[in-house]
Amino acid sequence: MDIQPGPSTKRAASPSMDDQSAKRFKSLEDRQGKMETLLEQILQNMTQRGPSVAFDEENSEFGDSDGESQSSLPCSPPRWQPPDLMGDSTQAISFPPAVQVQGPSIPDPESDINEQGISCQRIGSSGWNQVRYKEVQKALQVGGVFSQLQVNPELPHPGSKPSSDILEKFDQSLGIISHGLLQQRKAFADIISTIIKKYPAIADDARLAFTSADSKFKRISDDLLQYSCRKRAEVFEARRKLYEPDNPRVAQKLREIPTSQKYLYDEGLLNGLVQRYPSLGRRRSFRGSRSDHMQNYRSSYRVPETSGVSMPSAPSTSRNPMATRRGRGQAFRKNRQFQGEGNKKSFDPKRNQKPERRF
């Protein structure tokens, strides 16, 4: 049984489409051939003549295979000449001054930021000293390295000094600020990570805007943390200076001991230094005020006794004659005068004669 072939499933291409494709390919081949001919003639003329010489009409004319159209080749531009650095040789050389004016050492804040600072600090209002902080201090204050460093038990207490109390409070405040900055950075990073998980398409843009080296947000946050940490380090230095001994060698060794997470000095290193220099752990008498020294000086003041002369009593402290340099000089001269008169009268034969008192 013969099987008759069925109708073909492919559609035969129409004659019009084949003609159009053939004409298109023919046009493209003609254009490519003209372009190749043009490039060959340009390269030949450039190798035969210099770049500054223009082409002739004979060498610049070309035609197609049919010789129906001709066109001129473009002329090459003239050779480039560098400009004269001195300018016009007839003019005199001058060096005009260029002086820059120094700006302010501390720039002014932006207007909107300045207004926010005035509002937060209550500047110009009666509530400038009523800004509350106890509640936020309880929320931000933690222990560990962010609390004020304690004084090592091996060191003697310097006594009641107002500067020591102020430095301890300043140390505590800067520790709270540093902890708050780190908490803020952590909370911001967690929020950005949550948003990126929800919208992964913004991951690259978010990292570029907040974590790159050119990020303004990251730069300001890093600078603020750098400032608070450095200021707290200065407070550590000022507190440690209160416990330095008078011996410069021992004081230098004490400065070389770093801080610990709890104390002003590392416990192990300080214990070894105290064992080597026991005087470091003894209580030292810190220098008092000038009035204390003058009070001790007045209490120990005595007028030397001389034979045969009734000397006046010691200067009264009620009027505080030794409080000034002039008063001390007058008392010294009077004392010297009385000593001289007593020595002279002791050699006088008329011992019963009462000497004249001079003041």
Q: How confident is the model over 288-316, as a mean pLDDT?
A: 47
Q: How confident is the model over 19-26, as a mean pLDDT?
A: 78
Take residue 40 and report the two structure tokens written for it: 């060959």
- pLDDT, residue 82, reads 67
| Domains of the chain, residue spans | 33-63, 141-281
**Sign of the CA dihedral 316, 319, 322, 326?**
negative
Please report which confidence band the pLDDT of residue 221 belongs to, taking 50, 70 and 90 as the band edges: very high
Q: How confident is the model over 242-260, as a mean pLDDT?
A: 92
pLDDT tens-digit readout, 76-85: 666 777 666 6
Please report which confidence band the pLDDT of residue 103 belongs to, taking 50, 70 and 90 as the band edges: confident
Q: Where are the beta strands (DSSP E) in the chain?
A: 62-63, 70-71
Stretch among 37-41, 65-69, 93-97, 346-350 having the lowest mean pLDDT: 65-69
CA angle 119, 121, 123 (to 5 degrees): 75
pTM, two decimal places: 0.53
Contact 103, 142 (CB under 8 A): no
Neighbours of 218 (CB within 10 A): 15
- pLDDT, residue 284, reads 58
**Sign of the CA dihedral 92, 93, 95, 96?**
positive
pLDDT tens-digit readout, 204-216: 999 899 989 889 9
pLDDT tens-digit readout, 319-331: 555 556 666 667 6
Stretch among 25-29, 106-110, 157-161, 341-345 having the lowest mean pLDDT: 341-345
Please report which confidence band the pLDDT of residue 182 belongs to, taking 50, 70 and 90 as the band edges: very high
- pLDDT, residue 30, reads 84
β-pair partners for 263? 150
Out of 5-19, 96-110, 182-196, 269-283, the most confident range is: 182-196
Could you tell me which residue, 7 or 257, shows the higher pLDDT? 257
Contacts of 147 (CB under 8 A, 6+ apart): 141, 172, 175
Take residue 117 and report the two structure tokens written for it: 């600072």
**Of 197, 159, 187, 95, nearest to 289 (Cα)?**
159
pLDDT tens-digit readout, 132-145: 999 999 999 999 99
